[in-house]
Amino acid sequence: MGTRGRQIVGLDVDGLLATLNRALADEWLAHYQYWVGSKVVMGPMKDAAVAELVQHAADEMRHAEMVSLRIVQLGGTPVLKPADWYGLSNCGYDAPEDPFIQKVLQQNIKGEQCAIEVYDRLVKETFQKDMVTYNMAQAILADEVEHEEDLQSLLEDYEAMMERARIR
Ligand code: MG
Ligand code: FE
Ligand code: FE
């Protein structure tokens, strides 16, 4: 823990650490949802979906790295047990039990929309109170906004293609 680094935080640090551990649980669940989704997804445009899911899985793990480093800097402990992820998580986990591309994209879009809300809240809570966490949260928020748009445009392409096929 950095003692001066912790002192300058103008927020209740234990409360902030709890918020960060909830975000950390979200990131690991999001990572796994994308990772396993990339293994099972099927249907038209499967290759494009796999490429996007693999990239997002890596991004979510990088977010877990960023959030856990900040937890340690502030004197906290990153959640130690995967069994605790469900209980801590804001956004939960949607198992891709139906691996059809449309369903997998919809599930992950829902997850991204939740992540956007989580980091938008954290950005607002930390603004001018904890600039280090603020910078981290806004960087992650920008990624989650990009993720949502990537998946929504893929879903739009998929739906446009199916619509064309139906008309013919
Ligand atoms: Mg992407
Ligand atoms: Fe993330
Ligand atoms: Fe994301």
Which ligand gives the minimal distance to the CA of 151?
A: 1
pLDDT at 102: 97
Tell me, yes or no, whether 38 lies in a domain: yes
15/147 Cα distance (integer angstroms): 28
Which protein residues have a CB closer than 5 Å to ligand 1 (ion)?
A: 55, 150
Q: Note down the domain range covering 151.
A: 10-167
pLDDT at 43 over 80: yes
Domain count, the chain: 1
What number of other Cβ atoms are within 10 A of residue 90's Cβ? 15
Flag whether pLDDT at 168 surpasses 80.
no
Q: What's the CA-to-centroid distance between 27 and ligand 2, angstroms?
A: 5
d(CA 15, CA 76): 11
The CATH number of residue 162's host domain is: 1.20.1260.10
Instruction: Using the mean position of ligand 3's atoms as its centre, give its distance from the Cα of residue 95 in Å.
Output: 16
Distance CA 51, CA 115 (A): 21
**pLDDT for the residue numbered 167:** 78
User: pTM for the whole thing?
Assistant: 0.96
Flag whether 151 is in a domain. yes
**Residue 157 resides in a domain:** yes
Task: Report the alpha-carbon distance of residue 132 to residue 51 in Å, rounded.
Answer: 32
R_g of the chain, CA atoms, integer Å: 18
Ligand closest to the CA atom of residue 34? 3
Ligand nearest the Cα of residue 23 is 2
CA of 166 to the centre of ligand 3 (A): 32
43 in a structural domain: yes
What pLDDT digit, counting tens, does each position of 9-26 carry? Answer: 999 999 999 999 999 999
Better-scored residue on pLDDT, 1 or 108: 108
Distance of CA 46 to the CA centre of its chain: 22
How far, in Å, CA of 95 to CA of 107, rounded?
9
Q: Does a structural domain hold residue 83?
A: yes
- Kindly state whether residue 90 falls inside one of the protein's structural domains: yes
Q: Label residue 99 exposed, middle or buried (CB < 10 Å: 0-12, 13-18, 19+).
A: middle
With beta carbons less than 8 A apart as the criterion, state whether 27 and 61 touch. Answer: yes
Region of 103 (left: φ > 0; alpha: ψ -120 to 50; beta: rest) is: alpha
Residue 136 lies in a domain: yes
What is the pLDDT, as a whole number, of residue 120?
A: 98
From residue 4, give the alpha-carbon distance in Å to each of 16, 75, 135: 16, 11, 18
| pLDDT tier, 1 (very low <50, low <70, confident <90, very high otherwise) | confident
Residue 3 lies in a domain: no
pLDDT digits (tens, 9 = 90+) for 58-95: 999 999 999 999 999 999 999 999 999 999 999 999 99
Q: How far is the CA of 69 from the centre of ligand 1 (A)?
A: 24
CA of 60 to the centre of ligand 3 (A): 6
Q: How far is the CA of 150 from the centre of ligand 3 (A)?
A: 10
Residues of the chain with pLDDT > 90, as a percent, come to 96
